[in-house]
Chain A
């Protein structure tokens, strides 16, 4: 009874919708159902987003250079053994679920080496380096999942760019390989990669539910799972909405970045 009242389920759909819009605009989703905390929903969500952001940023700092380098090397050495190695390991790793990767890492890294921590959350009050140390295993798991995907996209983009007339001209002008890659290839070859990274960012925030559970990390995914377990509807609603908004912003950011990289895309951006 009380739940029905407090969620406003007796009101008309229009009223409920307008109440929801108000709470979205004012960022006020009420209080958590959880008796123990009774915290405002937004403070829970902010904490989770901050935690997820740490994991996502650290993951990106590792994934982006490693995967792009992998993709570039695979494309440059196309059809060689190193190309096949990169593509096939990437394919195998990106196929396995994130929690499976996490469980393997627990067994093969966390147990034999004290350096790798089982818990991704550092004890409260520890410095950034300790926090990073605790986050290493989930970051490696994310790298395993995403390396193949991003390297493949980069590889495809780079092969197209390498086949182009401007790349051939640049090589024929006698420029060094590094210079051709930096000045001519990178900007064109990496556009698909940037676009894909944008869409994957939203997934990193909300889609790593199982991985967050394995490493006991209090991110957005974990927040949503716990809200589901406790039927904590206000937290659930705000959490899912947050994931969707982050996805939107990330995709928008990626589109703008592509537009900055490619003047032609700038003009078509308006048509879409």
Chain B
């Protein structure tokens, strides 16, 4: 759990940047990395993003510290109470506390999205590097497969896969991971192609290094920046995709579970009756998490380009 939430926190991104090569010949590069980190820490967008995401990670880890009410606990105020002193963010049609449900609802989305993203980035990076370095017919075939998968909207593909294999959490993680691989592969592949043309790859080849060594130890370190950007950008999309799947009812077995997407779908129809709080607040939670992750992604991207 803590591992996965670290990703959401952007900590993984940081540690990735911290872990520069140690050999002295690369100290110049280290210097650049440090400069980039300084730019990153000073950008208000990054700090704001970390603050938002950090709050939700905290909520996912220790929800009971943020609320004394359980997600399925009937509060005294009764059902459909407006936000106020009795219940901060009001209560829903079941008489459950909206604030408590939002705090507890952070966990499912913060389990699925980071794990799925990490899996997709690992597989996509490996595939992209290998395809970009070796090229040839395998690359041609896989590129066509990628184009075919990308031709159907991800959410539609996800619905079909979840429909076929059931709506358990592992299936959802696997589905999001698999569906994200093509786009990541394509990005890394084009970067690997560009790197493969450079002199250092040629000299490694002439030293007689194996292809695996060149891909793993020569090209990979030079595309880590891109990998980190992909990781954060895709994390935003994963949150997006999971929330949409939950809204459409393809997540979990129980519609009473605390989950932002499910809560929106269960309550949005009451908006027209002016009971807006049970659906708008979880919707704000979803929006804030996605925007937080995107702020981090954008600042990392800018820092790497600075």
Interface residues of A (CB under 8 A from B): 91-92, 95-100, 103-104, 106-107, 110-111, 118, 202-203, 206-207, 209-210, 213-214, 221, 224-225, 228, 236, 240, 243-244, 247-248, 251
Contacts and interface: CB of A to CB of B under 8 A. Distances in A.
Nearest to B286: A100
B152 A209 contact: no
Contacts of A214: 268
B81 to A, nearest CB: 18
Contacts of A107: 271, 276, 279-280
19 contacts: A95-B290, A95-B291, A96-B291, A97-B287, A97-B290, A100-B283, A103-B268, A103-B271, A103-B280, A107-B280, A118-B272, A202-B153, A207-B153, A209-B248, A210-B248, A213-B247, A221-B156, A240-B160, A251-B151
A225 B158 CA distance: 12
Contacts of A247: 151-152
B5 interface: no
Contacts of B236: 95
Grouping DSSP codes into helix (H, G, I), strand (E, B) and loop, the B interface class, with mixed when no group exceeds half, is helix
A106 B272 contact: yes
A226 B280 CA distance: 25
A110 to B, nearest CB: 7
Given A91-B294, A111-B276, A228-B163, A104 B156 contact: no
B76 interface: no
Contact of A206 (B156, B248, B283): B156
A225 B291 contact: no
B155 A104 contact: no
Contacts of B276: 107, 111
Contacts of A207: 153-156
A110 B274 CA distance: 10
Given A97-B240, A97-B286, A106-B272, 16 more contacts: A92-B291, A92-B294, A95-B236, A95-B240, A97-B243, A97-B287, A100-B264, A103-B279, A202-B151, A206-B156, A209-B159, A210-B248, A228-B163, A240-B152, A243-B156, A248-B151
Contacts of A96: 240, 286-287, 290-291
Contact of A110 (B243, B272, B286): B272
A75 to B, nearest CB: 18
A107 B155 CA distance: 25
Nearest to B160: A240
Contacts of B291: 92, 95-96
Interface string B269-306: 00110101001100100110011001000100000000
B244 interface: yes
A151 to B, nearest CB: 15
Given A202-B153, A206-B152, A97 B244 contact: yes
